[in-house]
Amino acid sequence: MAPNSLTLSPSIDLPLSVKPPTQTSHSLPLLPFRTLNSPYSPRKFKRKPTLAASVSRSNAVSEQVIQSDTNQTSLSSSKLVLVVGGTGGVGQLVVASLLDRNIRARLLLRNPEKAITLFGEQDEEKLQVRQGDTRNPEDLDPSIFEGVTHAICCTGTTAFPSKRWDGDNTPERTDWEGVRNLVSALPSSLKRIILVSSVGVTKFNELPWSIMNLFGVLKYKKMGEDFVRNSGLPYTIIRPGRLTDGPYTSYDLNTLLQATAGERRAVVIGQGDKLVGEVSRLVVAEACVQALDIDFTQGQIYEINSVQGEGPGKDPRKWEQLFKAATSN
């Protein structure tokens, strides 16, 4: 691993330590203040190549560039994907992946300023930002969901008390109430919601899961899952093992697009909550984006790990085979 690599993020049961952006925030345009009750207005994001270039790569995870075989020059998809938790470790990679594929994304963020810091200035046609906290149903104005065809929810907080719980952002409020509020607000026309959950949610009373569940994270994630399953919306639930790689704290789209899963590229997908292990955040993000287009993943729950070896990269056929092999019916 390169000497300037990021440290791996701690497991779900440890508070994450996310370094603040250091180099760019002072030079970025600040967005006007909005109250939480008003949906954030669409922003005009325009590419500023010099912005990304000016960002120090001191926190970059890897210098190796993943070559995308899906790179296209114009918007090629009729999808408009709502990403909730797009500033988080998995979420930022989901957004970068959608941008790379020229798929339109709309972000629902508590703090819209983070979108510019993370993704640079993008054309509004490609990336839109709305402000909202999933714990507050009144934030989830119907206009946020207008035109949305798919949704990927990767919100979360720490399993144990930490600064990330400030303002009562506990697992109960985020993983249960937030997911419930979001799912209740999604349009019935939605083609798919992908929910990022966790391995172990069906075993939260058993050791060692009961330790991780001391403050209820697995129980509340399961409640969120159940709400999704019973919502009538077409869904896919992705349950990662312990997450590795990222969040990528240099806060820059180029860095995100260059992120690699390191040696942990081979993907293991299972069902029945039997997998135990780790998974690169990059692999989880890719699984979420790939599942959107694989019909038979609808109505399914998958656990995902990644291990050393060659992986499917961004190849849709390989992902389809992996999901197919794991799908019981």
Ligand X SMILES: NC(=O)c1ccc[n+]([C@@H]2O[C@H](COP(=O)([O-])OP(=O)(O)OC[C@H]3O[C@@H](n4cnc5c(N)ncnc54)[C@H](OP(=O)(O)O)[C@@H]3O)[C@@H](O)[C@H]2O)c1
Which one of 107-115, 120-128, 201-209, 259-267 is the stretch in contact with ligand X (CB under 6 A)?
Answer: 107-115
Q: Are strands 192-196 and 150-153 parallel, antiparallel or unpaired?
A: parallel
Nearer CB in complex with ligand X: 209/320: 209
Nearer to ligand X, 284 or 320 (CB): 284
Does the footprint of ligand X cover residue 240 (CB under 6 A)?
Answer: yes
Is 106 near ligand X (CB under 6 A)? Answer: no
For residue 104, give the 3-state DSSP assignment. Answer: strand
What are the backbone angles phi and psi of residue 308, rounded to the nearest 5°?
-60, 135
85 part of the interface to ligand X, by CB under 6 A: yes
Q: Are 214 and 160 in contact (CB under 8 A)?
A: yes
Look at the chain and count its residues.
Answer: 329
Residue 110 interacts with ligand X (CB under 6 A)? Answer: yes
CA distance 326 to 311: 16
In Å, how far from its chain's centre is CA 250?
17
Find the helix or strand (DSSP H, E) in which 326 lies: helix 316-326
**CA-closest candidate to residue 314, choices 73, 113, 65:** 65
130 binds ligand X (CB under 6 A): no
3-state secondary structure 23-81: CCHHHCCCCCCCCCCCCCCCCCCCCCHHHHHHCCCCCCCCCCCCCCCCCCCCCCCCCEE
Q: How far is the CB of 61 from ligand X (least distance, A)?
A: 14
Residue placing its CB nearer to ligand X in the complex, 11 or 23: 11
Tell whether residue 89 is a contact of ligand X (CB under 6 A): yes
Query: Does 288 interact with ligand X (rule: CB under 6 A)?
Result: no
Q: What is the CA radius of gyration of the chain?
A: 18
Total number of residues that touch ligand X (CB under 6 A): 29
Asked if 270 interacts with ligand X (CB under 6 A), we say no
Pick one of 64, 71, 111, 189: the residue that binds ligand X (CB under 6 A): 111
User: What part of residues 157-216 is at the interface with ligand X (CB under 6 A)?
Assistant: 157, 169, 174, 178, 196, 198
Closest distance to ligand X from the beta carbon of 116 (Å): 13
Output the smallest distance, CB 106 to ligand X, in A.
14
Task: Give least dist CB 127 to ligand X, A.
Answer: 15
Q: Nearer Cβ to ligand X, position 218 or 320?
A: 218
CB of 78 to ligand X, least distance (A): 26
Site for ligand X in 64-83 (CB under 6 A): none
Smallest gap from residue 136 Cβ to ligand X (A): 8
| Residue 141 to residue 198: CA distance in whole angstroms | 28
Applying CB under 6 A, does 281 fall inside the site for ligand X?
yes
Contacts of 257 (CB under 8 A, 6+ apart): 65, 66, 68, 96, 100
Q: Quote the DSSP letter at residue 188.
A: T
In the complex with ligand X, which residue's Cβ is closer, 303 or 320?
303
- Could you give the CA distance from residue 213 to residue 195 in angstroms, rounded to a whole number? 19
Contact residues: ligand X, CB under 6 A = 11-12, 16, 85, 87-91, 110-111, 114, 133-135, 154-157, 169, 174, 178, 196, 198, 240, 242-243, 247, 281
